[in-house]
Amino acid sequence: MIQIRGNEFPSLLFWGATAILTTLLVGYWQRKKRKSVAIPKTWREVGELTDLTLFPMKSGAGIKLTEAECTDTGIQTIGDIQPRLKDRIFHQVEVGTVDCGDEVAAWINKYIYGEQKGLRLGYYIDGVAPKRQIATKFKIISVFKENDQGAYPDLTSYMLMTEASVNDLKSRVPPHVNVTHRQFRPNFLVRGSQPYEEDNWKWIKIGDNTIFQAVMLCTRCVFTTIDPDTGVMEPQKEPLKTLRGYRVLPDPLLEKIKDTSPVLGIHLGIRSQGIVRIGDKVYVGEE
C-alpha cells in the first residue's frame, strides 16, 4: 500500500491535472490536423464540366446553369438580381428556416395537393436561419467540416458524378428503362473519365481555382427511380434495382455508418471558393 504525505497531495493533484490537460490538447491537435489536410499543388486533368445544375428546393427540380458561384452554402446564380438563387435553400420539412409567407404557402399547397394541407415553404438566409443539423452517424467522417453541409442538404452542398458512370449503368438496366443523370441530381457532371473513376478522387479542381475535397461516396435511395420529367416512379424500382446488384461497395466508411445502399457519385466539400462554367477543365489532385 502506497502512503501519501499531506504535503505531497497538492503536487500530485497538479501533475494529474497537467496530464489530463495535455491529453486533451493532444487529442484536439490531432483532430484539427486530421481536418486540415494541405491542398495538393500538382493536378492531373481528367475531363471537362458538361452539366451544371442548381436545386433551389431540396428534392425539387433542378435548374441548368452555364456558370455559377461556388460558396459554403452550395452553388448560386451570378448576376444583379437579388436574392440570388442558391442550392437547396428551400425546404418542406420541419426545420429552422425563414417562412416565405401565407401567399406562397397557399400556392404551393394548391399546386401539390389541390387543397390547403398546412404545408409551409421555408427559405434559408445565411446568418438568420440555422443550418440543418448533420446526422450523428456522419460525424465520424474525418474530412467533413462544419461548413460542408450548407443549408439543407443531407450531407454536403455539392455532388459530382461522371458521364461514363451513368453510361455504364445505362448498359446494364433492362432495355425499357430510361436512365439519365438527372435522376441522380448531381451539381457537376464530368465528361472524359473512366466509369466510376470518381470513386477514388480525393481532391477535385474545376476551372482555375475552385477546389473541392471528396467527403464520402454518395449512397442512393428510391428517389432515383422517379422520372424527373413526369414524377412517376419506375414500377420495378429501376435503375436502383440494377445499381444495387453491383454497386454496394465494401467501403470502410460506409460500413462504419452502417449504410448498405448502392453508390454513384461523390459528395464534395468546398476548400477554395470560385466561379465555375460549362466547359471548364476538371482536375484531380496528385497527393
Round to whole Å and give the CA distance between 25 and 18: 10
Using DSSP, state whether 157 is helix, strand or coil. Answer: coil
Q: What is the pLDDT of residues 89-115, one digit of tens each?
A: 555 555 667 888 999 999 989 988 899
Considering its fold, how many domains does the chain have in total? 1
User: How many Cβ atoms from other residues are within 10 Å of residue 28's Cβ?
Assistant: 10
Residues of the chain with pLDDT under 50: 1-2, 4, 9, 12, 14, 26, 28-30, 32-35
Q: Is residue 108 part of a domain?
A: no
Q: Is residue 142 part of a domain?
A: yes
DSSP 50: E
How confident is the model at residue 155, as a pLDDT? 80
H-assigned helices in 3-139: 9-35, 102-113
Q: CATH number, domain at 214?
A: 2.40.33.20
How confident is the model at residue 31, as a pLDDT? 52
Q: Is residue 188 part of a domain?
A: yes
Range of the domain at 162: 41-89+124-285
Q: How many secondary structure helices (H) and strands (E) does the chain include? A: 5, 14
Q: Is residue 271 part of a domain?
A: yes
How confident is the model at residue 2, as a pLDDT? 45
